[in-house]
Structures are given as C-alpha cells and as structure tokens.
Amino acid sequence: MNERKPLAELKAVDWDMIVVGGGITGAGVVREAVRRGCKVLLVEQADFAWGTSSRSSKMVHGGLRYIAAGDIRLTWHSLVERERLLREAPGLVTRLGYWFAHYEKTFPGPWVFGFLLSVYDLLARVRDHRYVARDKFLEQMPGYREQGLRGGSRYTDALVDDARLVLRVLDESMDEGACVRNYTRVEAPLLHAGEVIGARLRDLESGEAVDVSCRTLINATGAWADRLRSSIAASKRVRPLRGSHLVVASERLPVREATIFMHPDDGRAVFIYPWQGRTVIGTTDLDHHDDLDEEAHISRQEFDYLLRAANRQFPGAALVDGDVIATFSGVRPIVSSGRGLHPSQEKRDHSVFSEHGMITVTGGKLTTFRQIALDVLRAAAPRLGIVVRDRGEAVFAPAPQDRLGARFGRTAQRIHELPAPQEQALLPGLDYSLAEMRWSLRHEQVVHLDDLLLRRTRIGLLCRQGGEEFLPLIAPLCRDELGWSEERWQAEVKRYQQIWQRFYSLPA
C-alpha cells in the first residue's frame, strides 16, 4: 500500500471517480473501477475499515436465514461470492463447519432443515451438509444443552478477518493505480447547476482542506450515507441498526466449529464461533440512536442478552462478566422500508441510487462486496463512458499460501525477508509477529496506534486490556518507522486506551 499522498497532489488530478468511505463497499468499488481504466481516489474520514467493516460478525456466508425468508437471490449471490473468496483468498477466508441442534418438539426438525441445507448447497454448487445423532453431535459440541436433544445438522460457511479483507482489496487496487487516503473527510460535495462536480476534502490530522473535481462521486459511507446526501436530497434512507459481539477466552468456552441457535428471549439467531484463537458470541440487532461520530459500543442489555444465550446453550460454561476479553459493535447501514418493521425484518440487500451526479450505495453485506461494486459501476457507467460487464475477474492476485500471504497478499514474501529474525516470531498467545507490524507501520498508512492494534492487527479484540502488555515491544517499532517521539508515543497510548475502554471493553 502506498504512503498518504499530500492533499495538494490530489487537487492536481481530474478524477473520474471519488469514492467516499474506506469500508468494504468503497474498497470494492475502487477495485472494480480502477481495473476498467478509471482514475480513482478513495478517501476515508477515519482509518480504513474503521466503520462497520471491522466490526462485522466476520462471516463470509450465504445467510441461511435469507433462504428461510424466501430471498433466494441474495443467498445465491452470497454463496457464489463465498466460493469465489474461498478460492481466491485462502487463509484470509476459511471454510468452517456450523452446527444447528435439533430438540424434541421444536421447529425446524432435521428433515425440514436438511431440505433447506440441500437448497443452500445446490446454490453454492457444493455438497457439504449432514445430520448426526445426539451422541455424535455432543462429541463435536461438548457441553451443549442436552435436555430434549435429538441430534444436530452440520453445514459449512466461512470466516474472514474483515478489516484485513478491506486492506487487501485496497492494496490490490493501489497496485493498479488507485489512490487511497485515510483520515480525510469529504465535508461536502461541490455543486454546479445543481449537479455534483467534485468534493471538498479535509485532512483531519492537519486541518488542511482542498476542493477536488471528479466526474462522479460515490457515496459509500454506510451508516453515514444520509449525511453526505443531505446537501442534495432531503429524504432519509438509512436505518442504522447496531449489532454487538462478545469475545471470550477459548478455555472458558471452547468451540472447534460454529453453532447457530435461537435466542430463548426472542427467537433471533445467535452464533458462537471460534475466531483467531478466541470464541465470539454474536450478535444483537437494534436501532442505533447514538451519535454516529462516536464508535458504536455494546450496552449492558446487549451484553447480558448475549451472555444469557451462551449460558443457556452451554450450561456448564457458567460464563460471567470476567470471562469476556473484549466486545465490539457495528452499525448495519440498512435501507429502511419505512414501514416501521422490527429491525430483524428489514431487508439486508444493498441499494444503489443516483442523485444529481452522486451515487449512493448502502446496505448489503461484506460477502457480496464485488457484486455491490459492479452495481455501483453500472449506475456510474453513463457518466464515465464505460461499459460494465461481469467478466468474473479475480479480485485478488495469487499470493503465498501461508499466514502472511492470507493477510498481506502478494507482498507477504517481503515481510519474511525483513531483517531482524527475532521479529518474525509470533507474540505469545497471538498469531501476529513484530515483523508484520513493522511492515504495516511502513507501508499501510498507520496514522494512530489504534490503527495498528484494532485494524492492521486485531490485538485489541483478542487480548485483555487491549493487549497493553505488548506495548513495550511495539514502542520501538513506532519510533523507527513513524519517527514518533516519547511524547507522541505516550499520547498515542493514552488515545488507544481511551478508545479501547469506551468502545471495546465491558459495559459499565
């Protein structure tokens, strides 16, 4: 990934497209636009993937519940993309077994569920499900609630590191000539005769601002989409819905594969799954009324709701607050039906709409980012003078098939070759090395310590107190690579600790 270009340099270019928002949607659009020969700039007001795209449930999935709701098209598209990502980004996207337990006198029973899974597999063109009787199920899911248990169905979906997915897509785009810049906000679109002709950008670090012109402006700001639209359209489209997760020490709730079950309070689906050596419990689904300028965070009610679900399903675990290492919450940018539906009934599909030269894209899923990007380009095509066909080109170039290849793609080999062999070792209890952090600091536009600990690596989600025990090892890297003084380092540590305490720790 390139360095942050000076703001003045951005002004000197007549961009075909400016993409606002550095989540997976914006990254996907840049990727598809640049390979069609467009001059593309992406700006992100905070860090890349700072929004929902680092706080998803991290599943690359078809979404069984969409089939059950009759949304075959969304499921089919998602499954096609799931299989593509598994092929193109092995290690970053990994297949995982999911278990659903069947109890006496509860719906759906094994036959109905098996039928659903046959359709699911058919759409994905795989055959990957089975039913096992009670004892075999308990061998796979020790400690599961036994009363009335008949057996379990297993199918497969996939998991990903969502923030690294965004970074890899951006990296591939930059390799083909895109320019991307974090901590740069679009303050407002620039208008001429009521049509968008550019954007006013502000560097949130230096305070500097420039006006930059473009042929089309893509509003990929997710939950923030209505804000950017407000200067050209009065209506509101987005209904922000929050979903939260708990990260638990895997010794306290060991699961080899994922399980999905219905919450006893409201019948919503809850997942418990292994991720990066920890166990994640999620998620919730409720209207998010908090200020969007603040990171979303879990409420006490959501925390208790998720803990209650896990304890009912794994009664022996008897989880308590102290077992939770960290929490994280994201805001779904759902396009509202306007009919006051229950949050879980709102459609999860994406919408693209074009207004006065600005194309807004919102809703959708991490999994379908490539399909979403193609829909955005189709809407932008008349202004750009391009024809958009899905030629099925790979999003990712081939990469080494190892841990670093999964995270960094093509450049992984260069991390192995960094001097200081002692930095190649994994940190205790983690799947990260100091060498890869050095690489991120040097090449991945790390501006703040939280960029490194929450998104380039996920240490802040995986360790108690945000991994503060590793800070003495990381300090020299930041001094070497970013030239931070002792004073700057102390300020960054303070900032990180405040962010972690407020948005990633346990609720008060």
Ligand X SMILES: Cc1cc2nc3c(=O)[nH]c(=O)nc-3n(C[C@H](O)[C@H](O)[C@H](O)COP(=O)(O)OP(=O)(O)OC[C@H]3O[C@@H](n4cnc5c(N)ncnc54)[C@H](O)[C@@H]3O)c2cc1C
Q: How far is the CB of 372 from ligand X (least distance, A)?
A: 8
- Which of 92, 253, 280, 366: binder of ligand X (CB under 6 A)? 366
Among 198, 333, 357, 466, binds ligand X (CB under 6 A): 333
* Closest by Cα among 104, 352, 322 to 219: 352
> What is the C-alpha separation between 69 and 57, in angstroms, rounded?
20
Q: Which stretch binds ligand X (CB under 6 A): 131-139, 302-310, 361-369, 399-407?
A: 361-369
The rounded distance, in Å, linking the Cα atoms of 415 and 407 is 11
Decide: is 222 part of the binding site for ligand X (CB under 6 A): yes
Taking CA atoms, 457 is separated from 169, 248, 466, in Å, by 16, 18, 12
Smallest separation, CB 140 to ligand X (Å): 22
Q: Least separation, in Å, of the C-beta of 241 and ligand X? A: 7
* Residue 50 binds ligand X, judged by CB under 6 A: yes
The minimum distance between CB 508 and ligand X, in angstroms, equals 21
Site stretch for ligand X (CB under 6 A), options 9-17, 39-47, 108-116, 476-484: 39-47
The packing angle between helices 110-124 and 72-88, to 10°, is: 60
- As measured in angstroms, the least distance from the Cβ of 185 to ligand X is 4
For ligand X, give the closer residue by CB, 23 or 484.
23
Nearest Cα to Cα of residue 241 among 142, 123, 367, 329 = 329
User: What interhelical angle do 24-34 and 369-384 show, nearest 10?
Assistant: 50
State how far the Cα of 308 lies from the Cα of 502, in Å rounded to an integer. 23
Closest of 174, 178, 217, 223 to residue 199, by C-alpha: 217
Q: Burial code of 297-322, b = ≥16 C-beta within 10 A, e = fewer?
A: bbbeebbebbbebbbebbeebebeee
What does the DSSP 8-state code read for residue 90? B
Asked whether position 214 contacts ligand X by CB under 6 A, the answer is no
Per-residue x/- mask for ligand X, residues 267 to 296, rule CB under 6 A?
A: ----------------x-------------
Collect contacts of 302-306 with beta carbons under 8 A, ≥24 apart.
302/242, 302/244, 302/329, 302/507, 303/244, 303/246, 303/327, 303/506, 303/507, 305/263, 305/265, 306/244, 306/245, 306/246, 306/270, 306/281, 306/282
Between 16 and 44, CB nearer to ligand X: 44
C-alpha 494/C-alpha 179 separation (Å) is 31
List the alpha helices (DSSP H) in 272-402: 300-313, 369-384
Backbone angles phi and psi of 282, in degrees to 5: -165, 165
25 binds ligand X, rule: CB under 6 A: yes
Contact present, 212 and 11 (Cβ < 8 Å): yes
- Of the candidates 7, 16, 18, 21, which one interacts with ligand X according to CB under 6 A? 21
Residue 153 or 360: the one with the smaller Cβ distance to ligand X is 360
CB of 468 to ligand X, least distance (A): 25
From candidates 40, 51, 306, 307, binder to ligand X by CB under 6 A: 51
Structural contact between residues 69 and 40, judged by C-beta atoms closer than 8 angstroms? no
Task: Kindly state whether residue 367 participates in binding ligand X, applying the rule CB under 6 A.
Answer: yes
Nearer of residues 201 and 435 to ligand X, judged by Cβ? 201
Q: Does 310 bind ligand X (CB under 6 A)?
A: no
| Pair 348, 334: CB distance under 8 Å | yes
Determine the interface stretch with ligand X among 144-152, 209-217, 220-228, 338-346 (rule: CB under 6 A): 220-228
In the block, tokens 């893509």 appear at 218
- CB burial of residue 117 (10 Å; 0-12, 13-18, 19+): buried
Judged by beta carbon, residue 333 or residue 357, the one nearer ligand X is 333
Q: Which of 364, 409, 460, 466 binds ligand X (CB under 6 A)?
A: 364
371 scored as a contact of ligand X (CB under 6 A): no
Nearest to ligand X of 356, 410 (CB atom):
356
Residue 392 bridge partners (DSSP): none
Spatial distance between the Cα atoms of 327 and 454, rounded to a whole number of angstroms? 12
Closer residue to ligand X (CB): 216 or 433: 216
Count of residues engaged in binding ligand X, rule: CB under 6 A: 38
Task: Tell me which residues in 378-397 interact with ligand X (CB under 6 A).
Answer: none
> Which tokens belong to 258?
């994922």
> Does 368 sit behind a cis peptide bond, omega within 30 degrees of 0 on the bond before it?
no
Give the integer Cα–Cα distance in Å for 154 and 132.
Answer: 8
Q: Which is nearer to ligand X, 41 or 149 (CB)?
A: 41
Min dist. Cβ of residue 209 to ligand X (A): 12
By CB under 6 A, name the one of 10, 17, 57, 86 that touches ligand X.
Answer: 57
Q: In this complex, which beta carbon is closest to ligand X, that of residue 173 or of residue 433?
A: 173
Applying CB under 6 A, which part among 1-9, 120-128, 131-139, 358-366 lies near ligand X?
358-366
Pick from 95, 176, 101, 169: which is nearest to 140 by CA? 101
Question: Does 198 participate in binding ligand X (rule CB under 6 A)?
Answer: no
Of the pair 165, 453, the CB lying nearest ligand X is at 165
In the complex, minimum distance from the CB of residue 346 to ligand X, in angstroms, rounded to a whole number = 12
- The continuous run of DSSP H or E covering 171 comes out as helix 162-175
For ligand X, the closer CB: 51 or 357: 51
Confirm or reject binding of residue 26 to ligand X (CB under 6 A).
yes
Distance CA 353, CA 360 (A): 5
Structure tokens at 477: 């890297």
Comparing CB distances to ligand X, the nearer of 16 and 285 is 285
Q: Is 467 in the site for ligand X (CB under 6 A)?
A: no
Kindly identify the residues of this chain, within the stretch 238-267, that bind ligand X according to CB under 6 A.
Answer: 243
Residue ranges that bind ligand X, judged by CB under 6 A? 20-26, 43-46, 50-53, 56-59, 61, 185-186, 220-224, 228, 243, 283, 330-333, 364-367
